[in-house]
Amino acid sequence: ALQAGHWRFSVTASDGMATFSRDFEIVVANANQAPRILPIPLQLINEGETLAFTVVATDADRDAVQLSLVYDEETPTGVSFNAGNGRFEWTPEDVVDNSSGDSRSYTLTFRANDGRGADNSINTQSVQIRVFDVNRRPQISASNHAVVIGDTLSIPVVFGGGGGASTGIALGDADGASQTAALAISFSGLPEGARYDADSRHLVWTPGAGQIGDFTVSATVRDGQARNGTASTVFTLRVVAEAAANAPTILVSTTPSTPALPGQTILASVRADAWSGIAQLAVAVRGAAFGPLVGPASDAGSEAGSGPENGPEIWHDVTLDSAGRIRLSAS
């Protein structure tokens, strides 16, 4: 390609007595040479790590080569390719489904174009990438529970943190829904008579005589993977003689704490606490001293209406904001 053009040379012959010369001219037409991308070896990377390499292209004609990444259905999200310097980077996140394998392969294709417009102006090169799974540890959370002796305690084990997770034992796996569904749970330190029903997914116990007190239980969840495959938590089962022994405490504080003036806004905070946790908190307000302004503290106030249904003896259910507060207006 670099020898295209006009070439002239002379041929001289001699028999020892005389010489003969002739000039020749050869015209070499240019034939475009396809650009070439240097081979890229197999790339191996773990989830969460950054893969980086440089794509290098050459051209026998010394043409300027334009590089590009060919995007198709196999191209993963989040890849970055700088066509100016050929730099490729990608940090694969959770791309391997470890319920079906420990790695995932990708094929990326890069294109080189010398801009000549000829049939052989474009060339491609593929690179194989294999991403290895990095197992994420399963999660488990549990709260303490109290039960009156002779009553049955039934604690739900919730896979995926759906309904009941706040009052039961919640399991999850960040690697995916199928991994979460396949989690296995076990218990140690269970008191006598307690058992886990795998079919109903409940930890069930009816404490008997002589079992008043606290019992520390350890729960362990496993996802079946060798690395980061287990997680544990500890919670307490408390047996009391009567329900009053585990009654929750409620604290109501107001700002201002002194008697309010007519038209003044009162910010009331409601706090509830119990050894075994609070499953539900409901708040109602009544009284002639409060006007129609009843609503969450984060709101400007929601009208409770007027008329007989809003008399001083009528209780009104109210909604607390995320901080457990409500805004009232004195009248």
- pLDDT band with cut points at 50, 70 and 90 for residue 319: confident
pLDDT the model gives residue 316: 78
Q: Which of 5-9, 108-112, 139-143 has the lowest mean pLDDT?
A: 5-9
Residue 62 has pLDDT above 50, yes or no: yes
Split at pLDDT 50, 70, 90, the class of 260 is confident
Fold match flag (36-132 vs 138-246): yes
Q: What is the pLDDT of residue 293?
A: 44
Element (H, E) at 83: none
Name the band, by pLDDT with cuts 50, 70 and 90, for residue 312.
low
Q: How far is CA 138 from CA 26, 94, 201, in A?
A: 76, 14, 18
CA distances from 172 to 111, 137, 162 (A): 43, 9, 10
DSSP per residue, 198-224: TTTTEEEE---TT--EEEEEEEEEE-S
Q: Tell me the one-letter amino acid at 239.
A: V
pLDDT score, position 330: 66
| Predicted pLDDT of residue 318 | 80
User: Dihedral of the CA atoms 160, 161, 165, 168 (nearest 10)?
Assistant: 30
pLDDT at 306 over 50: no
Confidence check: pLDDT of 107 > 70: yes
Band of residue 257 on the pLDDT scale cut at 50, 70, 90: confident
pLDDT value at residue 134: 94
**Domain 138-246, what architecture?**
Sandwich (2.60)
Q: Where are the domains of the chain?
A: 36-132, 138-246, 249-299+309-330
Contacts of 157 (CB under 8 A, 6+ apart): 168, 169, 171, 185, 196, 201, 202, 203
C-alpha torsion angle, residues 87, 93, 94, 95 (rounded to 10): -10
Q: Which CATH class is domain 36-132?
A: mainly beta
Res. 24: pLDDT tops 90: no
| Backbone φ and ψ of 133, nearest 5° | -70, 140
Band of pLDDT at residue 296, cut at 50, 70 and 90? low
Please give the pLDDT value at position 322: 79
94: pLDDT strictly greater than 50: yes
Token match 């909604």: residue? 319
Please state the length of the chain: 331
pLDDT (mean) for 205-225: 95
Task: Report residue 307 as tokens.
Answer: 């008329």
Is 226's pLDDT higher than 50? yes
Neighbour count for residue 247 (Cβ, 10 Å): 11
C-alpha 119/C-alpha 32 separation (Å) is 9
Please give the mean pLDDT across all residues of the chain.
87
Question: Within 13 Å and on the Cβ side, how many CA atoms surround 142?
Answer: 25
